[in-house]
Amino acid sequence: MTVQNTQVLIVGAGPTGLTLGLWLTRLGVAVRIIDKSAAPGGTSRALAVQARTLEFHRQIGIVDEVLEAGVKIEQLTVRTPAGVATRLPLATFGAGKTAYPFAFALPQEIHERVLIRSLEREGVEVERHTELVSFQDSANGVTAKLRKGGVSEFVRADYLTGADGAHSAVRHMLGIGFPGGAYDQSFYVADVEGTGEVTRNGMDATVATYGFAIVMPVRQSGSLRLIGVVPKEHEAKTDITFDTIRSEVERDTGIKVNSVNWFSTYRVHHRVADKFRVGRAFILGDAGHVHSPAGGQGMNTGMGDAVNLAWKLAAVLQGRADEMLLDTYEPERIAFARLLVDGTDQAFKMATSRSKAVGLLRQHLMPKLLRLLLATNTGKRAFFGMISQTRIEYRNSTISSGEAGKIKAGDRLPYVESSDGDNFAPLASLDWQVHVHGRPSLQFQAELARIGFPLHIFDWTTHARRAGFARDAVYLVRPDGHIAVATGPDGVRVLNYIAQFGLHPRYAADHTKPDADGPSKEIVFTADRIELLRNQRRVHTIQGADR
């Protein structure tokens, strides 16, 4: 029996699996991505791309392509049957918190195409018509049986990942429970050509006593995406067409539909898997959690799972971290998934309840509350943080240690902009790194240089203080942009942490290769180099070698 080898076998080529594959590939890990479908999806329900996802895309260099393909949502117009209830500006409602302070829409199928093209440029192609039949996990790896066109193949991988959707074969084979349920209401989603009062570069939402409806533009086709609740009198039907509910859709959205490019109905579930890992197999995305579309969180959460898992797998596979690092994937991501399901569940019930009392509150009170919320900077920040996923934190993780200023380990790295860039630019290395706003001790700098850890020193500014940093404090930043360690200027806690988890940055791995007849070379700072650092005031990057 011939067995093909790879490091990570990815089952499922939706946004989650593609993101995992792309990050792993950029990190130097060999992958195979299989999907039983014949081609990428031509339709989708997911539209929202949150700021945190755009930050991840920036790290791997595809954010400009993504932004070019979608639409910046500059305004949310809330309508009721009586007319416009409020207009809420969204173009800059996250200003100062990220390089992407706006709402953004890109249909999932177009998003997938961008990811697929990026993978193909890396030499990785999705293997279509390919199904996972079974797999066996052992201490040394996973052996999977695949089937394509009636022909079986065996693949040995170090790790197996299931990003294969809500009906995940990987989850079923692992015997992982998927508790939860389905909402009573059914939804419709349609891409149409039509006319009506539509906000340019915006989103229109109609709220009424009977539910809600949303209208959004789709840039590529010039069509309109319509989303709403199937009227109660039709939801039990199994053969609903657009014409079945045309009158209600046109009433709710205010759009006169001329032609329908695509139409579908679906039932929403709310579930979180009991586990996200068994041995050398992991599940992520919809395989691990499904929930209501409230807030546009689903696709983004799956892609966040992928980023969290990718850098950990790469570090372990390449011997740059202890295998215990993989134990943190499940608790970090399952905690957020449960919190998300609870939150979207409440919002969803409020948005779709057929109770007359709730309907009246939704129609008359909700627009006023939204207007009041976004009228203040505090309200804008709170709303943006909740929607954009920039407030996701892993403070309770076993790999989060300490606090300095207003920042606790586990937090996303706060964004600080300067005249010549921002502190997120170094994250493009996809590597562990240390950030200091101010001046760390020279002894700490020298020790970091000795072990090959990148150090980024930024000028102390008002922006840094407002973002929550402490002057001269030391922050060890994970490859996904979350703080691992926050501590004082001496950095001792960082050095202890690096030793505890056996961390080695990618830079050190690339630049301290063993000689044929000797051990790895140490990277050191000379005394002259350290003296020069005393006088440097601009933002600069130190990557360990004396240049």
Residue labelled with tokens 């041995």: 279
Helix (H, G, I), strand (E, B) or coil at 88: strand
User: What pLDDT does residue 488 have?
Assistant: 95
- Mean pLDDT, residues 196-215 taken together: 81
Name every residue whose Cβ is closer than 8 Å to that of residue 497 and which is 6 or more positions away in sequence: 401, 476, 484, 485, 503
What is the per-residue pLDDT across 14-33, written as a single tens digit (0 to 9) for each?
Answer: 999 999 999 999 999 999 99
- Measured between alpha carbons, how far is 130 from 530 in angstroms, rounded to an integer? 56
- Are residues 68 and 79 in contact, defined by beta-carbon separation less than 8 angstroms? no
| Structure token pair of residue 170 | 């990987």
Percentage of the chain lying above the pLDDT 70 cut: 85
Categorize the per-residue pLDDT at 521 as very low, low, confident or very high, splitting at 50, 70 and 90: very low
pLDDT value at position 347? 60
Lowest mean pLDDT among 29-33, 87-91, 143-147, 469-473: 87-91
d(CA 464, CA 478): 19
> How sure is the predictor about 294, in pLDDT bands with cuts at 50, 70 and 90?
low
- Average per-residue pLDDT in the chain? 86
- The C-alpha atoms of residue 173 and residue 145 are separated, in whole angstroms, by 12
Give the residue-averaged pLDDT of 449-476: 96
CA 518 to chain centre: 42
Share of the chain above pLDDT 90, in %: 59
What's the mean pLDDT in 318-324?
Answer: 93
If one compares 526 and 75, the residue with the highest pLDDT of the two is 75
**What value does the mean pLDDT take over residues 33-51?**
85
d(CA 115, CA 122): 11
Q: Which residues lie below 8 Å from residue 462, measured CB to CB, with a gap of 6+?
A: none
φ, ψ of residue 296 in degrees (nearest 5): 60, 50
Least confident window among 264-273, 313-322, 454-463: 264-273
Q: Above 60 in pLDDT, residue 517?
A: no
